[in-house]
Amino acid sequence: MGKFDGKNFMGFSGKVGGLLAYNLKGQHIVRQVGYSVKPPSKLQIARSLQKLISLVFV
């Protein structure tokens, strides 16, 4: 995570590619979107299967 003064991005906030920029307690923050290195839990697997099944029928 990094802080910036806002001059380079001109007050930008949002997501571009793998970067997130936002304002937190008056400080501009830029961070990279992370991913989990742990295996998914049983609940996460169940939820992803529910999404997949609902997309098949839409």
Q: What pLDDT digit, counting tens, does each position of 3-15 carry?
A: 555 566 566 778 8
> Domain boundaries in the chain?
2-56
Residues above pLDDT 90, as percent of the chain: 24
- How far is it, in rounded angstroms, from Cα 23 to Cα 16? 15
Instruction: Report the sign of the C-alpha dihedral through residues 8, 13, 38, 45, in that order.
Output: negative
Ranges of residues in the chain whose predicted pLDDT is under 70: 1-11, 58
CA nearest 30: which of 47, 48, 8?
8
CA-to-CA separations, 39 to 19, 26, 51, 52, 53, in angstroms, rounded: 24, 36, 18, 19, 21
